[in-house]
Amino acid sequence: MIVFNLSCVHGHEFDGWFRSSEDFDRQAHSVMVECPHCGDTHITKRLSAPRLNMGATDMVPALPRVSGPQEVMPASLMPGLQEHMLQQFKAFVRANTENVGGQFAETARRMHYGEESHRNIRGRVSQDEAVALSEEGIETVSLPHGILLDEGVQ
């Protein structure tokens, strides 16, 4: 695997892992590589020193979102990768959202109806509250069962 420093036309910088330079070129030409910050698909390689992954998993960079067919490999080939990615995801969400806890539904509604300024929030809702928010046109994302960002918060 080779890691490239990438950027979109909006100046967002991020890393991407590819099997080869040709693999990046093919995916970029097929509009399969997207900026993880804004979703732009006009991605270019930036000047950088080459970094090759020869099996070390202690430093795993953020991967760009891709659409369409993807090559995959068994997670067992990279022990600890799933846990590392989960920890990175949790850290990103914690750093970029405000925890409103059990007030999530009320806060989301106030933001949706313009009673409060928009911001990234996280919290807890019941299944009924999640359905009601959806019916009101308020988009939310649920985490998979067992994924807790704020352990001990009810």
- pLDDT tens-digit series, residues 22-81: 888 888 888 889 888 888 999 988 865 544 444 444 444 445 555 555 555 565 666 677
pTM equals 0.48
Alpha helices in 59-122 (DSSP H): 81-96, 104-112
Give the pLDDT confidence score for residue 22 in this predicted structure: 84
Residue 106: helix, strand or coil by DSSP?
A: helix
Whether the per-residue pLDDT at 110 is higher than 90: the answer is yes
> Residue 28, Cα to own-chain centre: how many angstroms?
19
Does an H or E element contain 6, and which?
A: strand 2-8
